[in-house]
Amino acid sequence: MKHKTQQRKALMECLHEARGPLSPAEILWFSREKVPSLGIATVYRNLKLLVEEGFVAELQVPGQGSYYEPADMDHHHHFQCRNCKQLFCIPGCPPGITSLAPEGFKLDGHEIFLYGRCSECTQ
When the beta carbons of 48 and 117 are compared against DNA, the nearer one is: 48
* φ, ψ of residue 79 in degrees (nearest 5): -120, 130
78 is in an annotated binding site: no
Kindly tell me which of 28 and 105 has the beta carbon lying closer to DNA: 28
42-71 positions binding DNA, by CB under 7 A: 42, 44-46, 48-49, 65-66
Q: Which does 4 bind (CB under 5 to 8 A by kind): DNA, a second copy, none?
A: DNA
Long-range contacts of 65-68 (CB under 8 A, 24+ apart): 65/23, 65/24, 66/23, 66/24, 67/21, 67/22, 67/23, 68/15, 68/21, 68/22, 68/23, 68/24, 68/27
Chain residues binding a second copy by CB under 8 A are: 59-64, 66, 77, 79, 82, 88, 90, 92-97, 100-119, 122
CB 69 within 8 A of CB 59: yes
User: Given the rule CB under 7 A, which residues bind DNA?
Assistant: 1-8, 23-25, 35, 37-42, 44-46, 48-49, 65-66
